[in-house]
Amino acid sequence: MNTFPRSYHNQCREKMQTSRSTLVILTAIILIGTVGLSFTVSSLYSAYIKIPGSGFVSLGYAPPLHVEGKDIKDDHGTVVYLRGAVKPQHLAVPGGWWHPEGSMNDYGYWVWSPEAVQYNLDKMVELGFTCVRVFLPDVERWLNNEDPGIGIKPRDEISYVIDQANLRGLYVMIVPWAVGDPYGGQTGIPWDPYTKPTERGVLTTPEDFINLWAGDQDSYSAEYGHFPNVIYELWNEPNGWTPDVDLHQLYFDTCQEIVNRLRAKGDEHLVVYQFNFTGIDSNQAVGWGRILTGTNVVYGSHVYRTLGGPLRWTPYFTGDYLYEDVKADLLNNMYIQNILDNNLPLIMTEYGALMNGPLVGGDTRENELTWYTNLHRCLNEWGFGYTAFEWRSYTSFAIIESNSEYPWLPPLNAAGEILRDSITAGKT
């Protein structure tokens, strides 16, 4: 177990505030000891310096991001492709299950291991990841912020992950998933009366959800907004239907207010938005003109071939796996054509190849991996980001081999290798 004498996020905040003076000192040393080079110090907040003609010298921090058209860029105007994997276990597992040493399948649930966090983040960087999507603890646990007995509080746990990722130049997309019942399945609309009965009373109105993100205290932005490498994804797969309320419009309007309030208080972090399990509804609504206004808004989508959603066993998708068919399905049935036509940025924040468990209707693993390869090919062609489900070794859509014989993290499985190779191929 690991304990901190004071909250870790306060230490992180102080560290970021000292970046400016550290850079000035370092730059002065370089200038004194170097002849004939012109140095410019840029974005002191992000703690790196630019050397004209020689790229960047990183001091460990990821530069802040912004949106220009459909591109996501850093503060030097360089396009950044946010690609990596999903790390979901913080939702219901104290400690986050970061594949600790002796990484057997069920080991580490109630262990907080900073060393394991660092090791896994190092492996992600080694594989070429630029982004990891991290599920947050359920809202009630995060708001209460009580140590569950692992030596660290939930807010500080996430701060540690973000900070360690920042030191490695890695972006972290944080996303909530459940209001107060992480074991009861995900929440559709995250406020009453649309939450499950077991979750009532935590977020009672849209205003509570707005404050969860944009409030001056007890909010995600207040807690993590000092990190340049954090990305806000407002909710995982918000969904729901009622004959009395257009829930997409209600959720859309609520998210618009979150963006407005974040920008009003000077928070320009990327905001990722989607509606419905796959993002179909939000992608389709873009064609109707229902587009969030304000700076640095990114659209998110999800896609699976062998679930009850895209690309198989729905009236919208064919289940095909060849390149032209996959591309047509995404453009027309996922309405990504609307995203492209409106020059909007998109990240496929969740998708996967079914690697463990039975396939549907006599399908083959080869077809599944062919689809997975062609999905990446399309996303690379369009310049979109993607975070594959999931950074784990034995679940249905794992990208790591299910093998407990390795002292730390097992190697990538076939899907993980495709992800790694696609990230490498897409760095253009």
Residue 9 has pLDDT above 50, yes or no: no
Distance of CA 325 to the CA centre of its chain: 27
CA distance 368 to 345: 27
Overall average pLDDT of the 144-155 stretch: 95
Cα atoms found within 13 Å of the Cα of residue 188, Cβ hemisphere only = 14
pLDDT category at 362 given cuts 50, 70, 90 is: confident
Cα atoms found within 13 Å of the Cα of residue 273, Cβ hemisphere only = 31
pLDDT category at 94 given cuts 50, 70, 90 is: confident
DSSP code of 320? -
Q: Under a CB-based contact definition with an 8 Å cutoff, are residues 390 and 87 in contact?
A: yes
The CATH topology of domain 62-425 is TIM Barrel (3.20.20)
CA distance 411 to 391: 11
pLDDT category at 60 given cuts 50, 70, 90 is: low
The whole model's pTM is what? Answer: 0.87
The four Cα atoms 417, 420, 422, 423 give a dihedral, to 10 degrees, of 170
- Which strand (E) or helix (H) includes residue 156? helix 154-167
Residue 121 has pLDDT above 90, yes or no: yes
Overall average pLDDT of the 3-18 stretch: 47
Residue 289 token pair: 């003109």
Residue 394 token pair: 């034995």
CA distance 61 to 419: 24
Residue 21 has pLDDT above 80, yes or no: no
pLDDT in tens, 315-337: 344 558 899 999 999 999 899 99
Written as one letter, the residue type at 421 is D
Overall average pLDDT of the 398-403 stretch: 88
